Structure 1
Amino acid sequence: MEDLLYYSLAIAVCIAIIPLLSSLQNSIFSSSIVYIAGPTSASRNSIISVVAEILAIPKLKTLVLSAARSRYGPVFTLYLLPSRPAIFVADHAVAHRALVQRGAAFADRPPASLPFRIFSSGQRNITSGAYGPLWRALRHNLTSKVFHPSRLGRFAAARRKALQGLVAGVVAQQMRGDGVVVVEALLHRAMFHILVTMCFGERLATDAVVAAVEALQREFLTSVLGFQVLDVCPALTRLLFRRRWKQMMSLRRRQEELFAPLIRACRAQRDAGDGVDDTTTYVDTLLGLQIPEDGGVRNLTEGEMVSLCAEFVAVGTDNTATEAQWIMANLVAQPEIQARLRAEIHQVTATGGSAGVQEQDLPRIPYLRAVVLEGLRRHPPGHFAIPHAATGIDDDGGGLSLEGFLVPRRASLNFPLVALGLDEAVWPDPLRFRPERFLPGGEGADVDLTGAKEVKMIPFGAGRRICPGMALALLHLEFFVASLVAEFEWLQVPGEPVEFAEKQELSVVMRRPLRATVVR
């Protein structure tokens, strides 16, 4: 019954939004990013906008934003709530100025929705935390003690073990029945193995623990968007969507029941003084971390560490596994690209005398990096970057100026990655998967392949809020894609062309998981 009500609201939104798309009245959109307080004309249609947002209807949102951009230009406001306008930046140059040149000014986060406040211990994690001393402490801990290039080598054995499991899973599927391989679940299991090992250590990352974490976090990733309806009039929606509310609270409770004992086990290992480096795992760094509060410092609570561990595992697995599947789908659909990549991989590995792809081989395979970057451009795991907000650093705290417009403190600043990645003015033939655009001499030759700092690559991370796990994600994508291509030839199933339709979970996934036949 709850689902019927939920989807009835979605249908009602779709019906109500049709006349808006034909007229795009100024009561919803504004070409001038100026916040006007009180019950102005913006509030007349704010309910429709809010419902569209909380129901997370990707195609509807994309349609609305595309129509708004065509009328008002690359920077405009959508009034989701009269007191909280959402600003959209669909221009590479403006995005570069906001995220890089003025990164500190727009490094904050807008208030999180109720579900994300619950799962982040009140916005006390890295992806949702406000820009300030707490966020800087959490981020510095992660980047310097876990994701620093000098420390990534510690988990090479975990990556190799995960790859072995992935290859074994492909072979097992190949040998049964029709020989069709569905790689989606295998990629997720491989990534969960690595991230659980990085989080809790090899001794605790048993097959049973990895499976339990994967099952719980996959439920979270596929359900969390549906919880957004609980953020509007919580007293009412908590009653209307009781089953959804119970599921959300059950998920949080089960996170604590699963992660807390693992955190305690890490603490016991550290206290036992068994010679383990106190920066070996992510939890080890959290146990020794002190965060600022009320003019002093304190240790993290167990609940906060649960939230940080859940964030670490979810973000590090879902986006990477999803992106790897999108890349493999394009290689299956375009065998000529796959063949060129395989030839380059074999040339490098044969020259190095190594058995299979080694991590040290990756920098010597430029076409591999081009394939991965093209995958990120064409199929970003999220259609929007995590919202930013003005910090108030440049003025007295009332708001900041961007391109001559005012960005209020509580407004969310959004960067539509798909729009930026498919901009014909920047990317010729944008719908085509063409890695050559990221090679020297291609139309993307001015892109900095090492740091993605050039304006074109803004969608994939820049500024103060650049994803601290970007280097790790690129390592995982390159290592697993290269290994799968070197180990197997991936072919379309006869009569089944690859389908590139999308489905919205926490990330944007393939509606129909990739099916392929493989030749070892």
Structure 2
Amino acid sequence: MDTSSQLLLGALLLILSTALLLGTKRRDGRRRLPPGPPAVPLLGSLAFLTNSPANPEPLLRRLVPRYGPVVSLWLGRRLRVYIADPRLAHAALVESGAALADRPRNTAFELLGESDSNVTRARYGPTWRLLRRNLVSETLHPSRVRLFAPARAAVREALVEKLAKQAADAGEAAPPVVEEFNYAMFCLLVLMCFGERLDEPAVRAIGEAERAWLVYGFTKMSVFFVLPSITKHLFRARLQAGLAVRQRQKDLVMPLIRARREYNKKRIEQQQVKEEEKETTTTTFQHSYVDTLLDVRVPHEGGRALTDDEVFTLCSEFLNAGTDTTSGSLEWIMAELVKNPAIQDKLYAEIKSTCGHNYDQEEVSEEDTQRMPYLKAVVLESLRLHPPAHFVLPHEAAEDVEVGGYTIPKGTTVNFLVAEIGRDGREWDRPMEFRPERFLPGGDGEGVDVTGSREVRMMPFGVGRRICAGINIAMLHLEYFVANLVREFEWKEVPGHEVDLTETFVFTTVMKKPLRARVVPRRRVQQNK
């Protein structure tokens, strides 16, 4: 580029920057917007020229020390505000919860024809309340969750067998364990969703289709975040490819939904079937998430039933929301136990002490885990230090909101630095150390409110009205599987594959170097004593 062109470009940027500043001043009057790096109209924050808007965390880690705990960034004409302070997070999500309970429109997924009538993305209103209430009360309620105890036991048994076989076959060349964790969690959610115990090829086919959808959404659809009315024409082939990925999902999931509808119809027609005969089935469960969706009626829309497309979207959400988050958290916990054998030994001692004379029972039951404070402390400490997502799903301000002396204008996208909040040195002693004891009596995390209703010190499940609906079942699954995996095996480092806690972002925050562990069966040793 010659000198005159450079001067012209510089002058243009200066004019645009000045116009933005003047326009902001006129538009906002006496409102004090959160500070942030320079921005220009249409383009947005200049920092995004060298940093990905899809993963702003590295940029924000540099901006927070400079601008403070509330930072603004412009993406095109949309303002995004990020909050990194736990007290301000509580003020925003709890004290001003209703004003920040909405979700921004996701134009990228709308272009692919996906309904926003689901729990995570629905606008704050009657449809969201209906869908969330159905999920929480009809599937995630403790009384319903107990119905799936046999499913959890079957998945746990299969996982233990796979890990033992891998250990015997691979020796020191242990493969990454996260693949087996991921399959186990997905298999469990498929059963809870459709009420049917599918064979492994069928489960893996659905899992591959769901993952392909996530990969496509995260890697190919960001071009539609800015000026979608134009980019949808410029990238028409990309949209068509996305529609093909979505159709693959439907081809696998819709037959299961239709089969469940027919199953329920026949069950109603055959009321004379004895209850004990119903319970002898080994592949079909009497309750599923799909059952509840087929029964939902939308009262504010004339009492209509959910469409097939809405049921499909909700099922896909159910499967995806609890798979990577739980399997990734399970990997982080086991990695910390491998890296800290003294903590693993202490947890193992609690398991033996709690199970007592029943140690030779088939599993550590869900009831047993409720009597293990150190187990809960291990899980909480991992969630604090390694939250599965370093941001919550984005919120949108339904009205102007005052936070920390700044005005967050109506329509602004708001998010929170979850990892930074959980590692805040003002809240936690030696925050980067893995110390489960901090959650025991006398520790700096004693009695912590993980829901954030009283105060925010960690928020791995979000906080406020849009807190993760699956918080309780996620804790149950983590405690149950960690207890049984430690009971069954001693987890050791593999020479040449030492534990590396470096993070990387995929759909969630995962280990950049997946965990490889040498698992040594314990029960065989116990039986030989």
TM-score range, shorter chain: 0.7 to 0.9
Deviations 1:329-372 (CA, angstroms, capped at 9, x unpaired)? 11111111111111111111125554331111111111111111
What amino acid is aligned across from residue 64 of structure 1 in structure 2? L
Q: Whose Rg is larger? A: 2
1:330 to 321, 336, 343: 336
Task: Answer yes or no: is the 8 Å Cα contact 1:133–1:292 preserved in 2.
Answer: no
Q: In the TM superposition, what is the alpha-carbon distance from 1:491 to its structure 2 partner? A: 0.6
What RMSD, in angstroms, separates the aligned Cα atoms of the two structures?
2.8
Bigger shift: 254-263 or 124-133? 254-263
Task: Answer yes or no: is the 8 Å Cα contact 1:492–1:515 preserved in 2.
Answer: yes
Residue of structure 1 in register with 2:496 after alignment? 495
The alpha-carbon distance between structure 1 residues 224 and 33, as it changes in their structure 2 partners (threshold 3 A), is: farther
Unaligned segments of structure 2, at least 5 residues: 1-19, 272-277, 280-284, 522-529
Residue of structure 1 in register with 2:448 after alignment? 447
What is the CA–CA distance in structure 2 between the aligned matches of 1:332 and 1:259, rounded to whole Å? 38
Q: In the TM superposition, what is the alpha-carbon distance from 1:181 to its structure 2 partner? A: 4.2
Q: Does 1:252 align with 2:246?
A: yes
What amino acid is aligned across from residue 213 of structure 2 in structure 1? F
- Aligned ranges for residues 226-305 of structure 1 at < 5 Å? 226=219, 227-234=221-228, 237=231, 244-272=238-266, 273=268, 274=270, 280-293=287-300, 296-305=302-311
What is the CA–CA distance in structure 2 between the aligned matches of 1:486 and 1:116, rounded to whole Å? 46
Task: Answer yes or no: is the 8 Å Cα contact 1:119–1:307 preserved in 2.
Answer: no
- Aligned ranges for residues 142-291 of structure 1 at < 5 Å? 142-179=135-172, 180-202=174-196, 205-226=198-219, 227-234=221-228, 237=231, 244-272=238-266, 273=268, 274=270, 280-291=287-298
- Aligned ranges for residues 39-78 of structure 1 at < 5 Å? 42-43=40-41, 46=44, 48=46, 56=54, 58=55, 61-78=56-73
Bigger shift: 444-453 or 95-104? 444-453
What is the CA–CA distance in structure 2 between the aligned matches of 1:191 and 1:302, rounded to whole Å? 25
2:315 to 309, 319, 330: 309
Q: Please state whether the residue corresponding to 1:182 is helix, strand or coil.
A: coil
What is the aligned-residue identity percentage? 42
What is the CA–CA distance in structure 2 between the aligned matches of 1:247 and 1:366, rounded to whole Å? 49
Task: Answer yes or no: is the 8 Å Cα contact 1:332–1:338 preserved in 2.
Answer: yes
Deviations 1:176-216 (CA, angstroms, capped at 9, x unpaired)? 1334142111111111111001100035x333331221111
Residue of structure 2 in register with 1:79 after alignment? 74
Q: Does 1:508 align with 2:506?
A: no
Task: Answer yes or no: is the 8 Å Cα contact 1:230–1:245 preserved in 2.
Answer: no
Task: Answer yes or no: is the 8 Å Cα contact 2:40–2:46 preserved in 1.
Answer: no
What is the CA–CA distance in structure 2 between the aligned matches of 1:302 and 1:264, rounded to whole Å? 9
Residue of structure 2 in register with 1:10 after alignment? none
Residue of structure 1 in register with 2:119 after alignment? 126
The alpha-carbon distance between structure 1 residues 113 and 346, as it changes in their structure 2 partners (threshold 3 A), is: farther
What is the CA–CA distance in structure 1 between the aligned matches of 2:165 and 2:153, rounded to whole Å? 18
Q: In the TM superposition, what is the alpha-carbon distance from 1:420 to its structure 2 partner? A: 0.7
The alpha-carbon distance between structure 1 residues 210 and 183, as it changes in their structure 2 partners (threshold 3 A), is: same
Task: Answer yes or no: is the 8 Å Cα contact 2:107–2:228 preserved in 1.
Answer: no
Q: Please state whether the residue corresponding to 2:466 is helix, strand or coil.
A: coil
Deviations 1:370-410 (CA, angstroms, capped at 9, x unpaired)? 11111111111111011112233xxxxxx233333322221
What amino acid is aligned across from residue 417 of structure 1 in structure 2? V
What is the CA–CA distance in structure 1 between the aligned matches of 2:453 and 2:356, rounded to whole Å? 29
Residue of structure 2 in register with 1:13 after alignment? none
Q: In the TM superposition, what is the alpha-carbon distance from 1:129 to its structure 2 partner? A: 0.8
What is the CA–CA distance in structure 2 between the aligned matches of 1:417 and 1:103, rounded to whole Å? 17
Task: Answer yes or no: is the 8 Å Cα contact 1:131–1:391 preserved in 2.
Answer: no
What is the CA–CA distance in structure 2 between the aligned matches of 1:416 and 1:113, rounded to whole Å? 24
Q: Please state whether the residue corresponding to 1:410 is helix, strand or coil.
A: coil
What is the CA–CA distance in structure 1 between the aligned matches of 2:112 and 2:306, rounded to whole Å? 16
What amino acid is aligned across from residue 148 of structure 1 in structure 2? H
Q: Does 1:478 align with 2:484?
A: no
What amino acid is aligned across from residue 383 of structure 2 in structure 1? L
The alpha-carbon distance between structure 1 residues 403 and 429, as it changes in their structure 2 partners (threshold 3 A), is: same
What is the CA–CA distance in structure 1 between the aligned matches of 2:451 and 2:93, rounded to whole Å? 18
Alignment size in residue pairs: 477
What is the CA–CA distance in structure 1 between the aligned matches of 2:154 and 2:368, rounded to whole Å? 18
Q: In the TM superposition, what is the alpha-carbon distance from 1:310 to its structure 2 partner? A: 0.3
The alpha-carbon distance between structure 1 residues 453 and 517, as it changes in their structure 2 partners (threshold 3 A), is: farther
The alpha-carbon distance between structure 1 residues 138 and 33, as it changes in their structure 2 partners (threshold 3 A), is: farther
Task: Answer yes or no: is the 8 Å Cα contact 2:385–2:422 preserved in 1.
Answer: yes
Task: Answer yes or no: is the 8 Å Cα contact 2:94–2:453 preserved in 1.
Answer: no
Q: In the TM superposition, what is the alpha-carbon distance from 1:251 to its structure 2 partner? A: 1.6
Deviations 1:108-135 (CA, angstroms, capped at 9, x unpaired)? 11222413664741x2111111100000
Q: Please state whether the residue corresponding to 2:100 is helix, strand or coil.
A: coil
The alpha-carbon distance between structure 1 residues 79 and 41, as it changes in their structure 2 partners (threshold 3 A), is: closer
